[in-house]
Amino acid sequence: MSKLIKYSPWLVHFNTGACNGCDIEVLAAITPLYDPERYGVKLSPSVRHGDILIVTGVVTKKAAERLKRLYEQMPGIKYVVAVGACAYNGGVFKGSYSIAGGANKVVPVNAYVPGCPPRPEEILRALLLLLNREKVAGGE
């Protein structure tokens, strides 16, 4: 399962309309202070080489089709991480008639990172938990 990508997961980042708060934290997570490359994590040059899809922002009906198409273009083993409160269920804009909801209404989500915006360390930790490379607190 995840053994194939466990030591070199490449990220595809998709902004479905965030305020850019989560985006600059995702951008900060790939910079030298947090050093994601020691885990093999880097930004993928193209969608067809991506392993993990990072979704930020609230998903509207128009962005929903693009998100689905992007998800289908990724090959084989893939995971989806929804970053931020807006990608979880709409955040501040919950209840508006034109949003599809959170990211899980469009693609199957494997991990949520709560926060507005979450810290870069949290985003990195979510990736590692997903790949079973870090122990969950509580000694599992």
Footprint on this chain of other proteins (rule: CB under 8 A): 15-25, 27-28, 31-33, 57-60, 62-63, 66, 90-93, 96-99, 116-117, 119
Closest approach of other proteins to the CB of residue 126, in Å = 17
Interatomic CA distance for residues 68 and 100, integer angstroms: 12
- Answer for the pair 57, 119: CB distance below 8 angstroms, yes or no: no
Closest approach of other proteins to the CB of residue 4, in Å = 27
Closest approach of other proteins to the CB of residue 131, in Å = 24
Q: What string of DSSP letters covers 21-41?
A: HHHHHHHHHTSTTT-GGGGT-
Q: Whose Cβ is closer to other proteins: residue 58's or residue 113's?
A: 58
Q: Whose Cβ is closer to other proteins: residue 9's or residue 117's?
A: 117
- Answer for the pair 134, 128: CB distance below 8 angstroms, yes or no: yes
